[in-house]
Structure 1
Amino acid sequence: MEDERRLDGGINQVSQIGQTIRRPVGPWSASVHELLEHLEASGFTGAPRFLGIDQDGREVLSKVPGANPWPPGPVLFEPALLESAAALLRRYHDAVAGWSPATDAWQSPPLSVGDPEVICHNDTAPWNLIARDGAVVAFVDWDTAAPGPRTWDLAYLAYTLVPLAAPENLEPMGWPSPTPVHERLARIRDAYGCTQEQWHTVLDTIPVRVQAAYDTMRIWASEGRPGWQAQWEQPEPWRHGAGYLRDLTYIENSLDHWRT
């Protein structure tokens, strides 16, 4: 058997063996596996393939060729990567519109997210992108997929990929400052294909989505979920979700300006 290599980052313990990824399963995994199988059957290529369960009880996924553009580097700042991520998200949402699994047991956020319009990925962020030749070709880490409105995913993509971060958070994360927020928001809007009305809804959703990210981390950490506890207990300046709260203040103070 090929050597197993532990992959860094994320909430779960993830390993690579050959061209496969091994991840622990949870009560929600059967629904995620159905989702990945539906995407494969529908011709959507922007997700790993579910290949079964290994002898250790872990799910086996195909390794998508390409590289993750996180932490921030030059490729992550390019408009082509931003636009391709939004366009891929639109293709994903269209691929799951009207579909639901037989099992329907998701790892849903511990709070209301809005009307269950599609199955959201729920973590459409740079750390879950795979890129080739400067363009996003896949989303990975589908564990928190669950029903929600399209704007929930799109708001999080804008938040994490523009990014809509407080200026004092940009440098510690490796982003350049200042960020051309208006330009990058417009690229996401156009690449996804939002109407003006839909885009106003996305903007309104962004602070709600950031608050939800903070609340989810706080609640799941308090429930003793190991990966979430580790995220909650990060050292300063991120301890106890402080980065989210700084971003939230910045977003709430800037939202009217971004509408113009």
Structure 2
Amino acid sequence: MEERRVDGGINQVTQVGQTIRRTVGPWSASVHELLKYLEARGFAGAPRFLGVDQDGREILSLVPGDTPWPPGPMSGVLESAAALLRRYHDVVEGWRPAAGAWQLAPVAVGEPEVICHNDVAPWNLIARDGSVVAFVDWDTAAPGPRMWDLAYLAYTLVPLAAPENLQAMGWPSPTAVCERLARIRDAYGCTQEQWDTLLDTIPVRVRAAYDTMRIWASEDRPGWQAQWEQPEPWRHGAGYLRDLTYIETYLDNWKATLKSRS
């Protein structure tokens, strides 16, 4: 059967018929357990694990739909992604795999509450009719706080990006930051404590994304070195650092504005 290379960013991803084939790592057994658990619980927002092929690659079901990246019009993507993440967190809460080996980030993430996806971003969403129906690329799933996951969703879907990064990412400018943050809060159903935690977690999560790329690139992990060596304006994680400066500059203003509207 014909194989077609799919742009998988960090990972080598191949489509074969209605399946996706990916290389496996030491963490894959835990990810496969997770996907089988989600299937057993009736959670439709993830691909199904179908086994391992003759080349030692994992076989995943192909989730039909479109990846909303570059972003373009995203009318229902924000709310549906946040709502799907809440459903996922609720389903997986309290579950742990027998294998127990994850691709853990080389940074502190906080006390684990659930198994986080850890990369809920436009490039890992599958949408149909303008709504997100699934998350893909579960390789970096690992234990962490709920708001760790939601902070990265907010960072990449609001997006909380420096103005000079927006055009390079394909986003319209300016972005209605406070309105979009509030929509994420409401769609996820944050408690007040979670909401306060989320806002404080966002800059920490962006710094962690930068540090993870830097450290894993220095360890010559497959794919990560290529990401670190991207051309300008992203070379050596520069985009993350610009975004982090922007977030740290305006975070208190966003907090005050959102508090006055609540």
Do these two structures clear the TM 0.5 threshold for a shared fold by scoring above it? yes
SS at match of 2:140: coil
Q: Distance in 1 between matches of 2:112 and 2:8?
A: 29
Q: Distance in 1 between matches of 2:72 and 2:235?
A: 24
Corresponding residue for 1:11?
10
Corresponding position: 1:183 with 2:182: no
SS at match of 2:15: strand
Corresponding position: 1:106 with 2:106: no
Which consecutive residues of structure 2, in runs of 5 or more, have no partner in the other structure?
258-262
SS at match of 2:223: helix
Pick from 120, 135, 139: which aligns with 2:135?
139
Corresponding residue for 1:20?
19
Deviations 1:88-116 (A, max 9, x none): 00000001000000000000101110001
Corresponding residue for 1:149?
145
How big is the shift at 1:198?
1.1
SS at match of 1:43: coil
Q: List structure 1 segments (4+ residues) > 6 angstroms apart after TM superposition.
A: none
Deviations 1:57-106 (A, max 9, x none): 000000001110111212x3x1x110000000000000100000000000
AA aligned to 1:215 is D
1:68-217 equivalence runs, <5 A: 68-74=67-73, 76=74, 78=75, 80-217=76-213
How big is the shift at 1:226?
2.6
Which consecutive residues of structure 1, in runs of 5 or more, have no partner in the other structure?
none
AA aligned to 2:227 is Q
TM-score (norm 1): 0.97
Deviations 1:108-167 (A, max 9, x none): 101110001100000000000000000000000000000000000000000000000000
Deviations 1:27-79 (A, max 9, x none): 000000000000000010000000000000000000001110111212x3x1x
AA aligned to 2:120 is T
Corresponding position: 1:239 with 2:253: no
Q: Distance in 1 between matches of 2:58 and 2:141?
A: 16
Q: Distance in 2 between matches of 1:41 and 1:107?
A: 23
SS at match of 1:33: helix
TM-score (norm 2): 0.97
Pick from 247, 251, 254: which aligns with 2:247?
251
SS at match of 1:83: helix
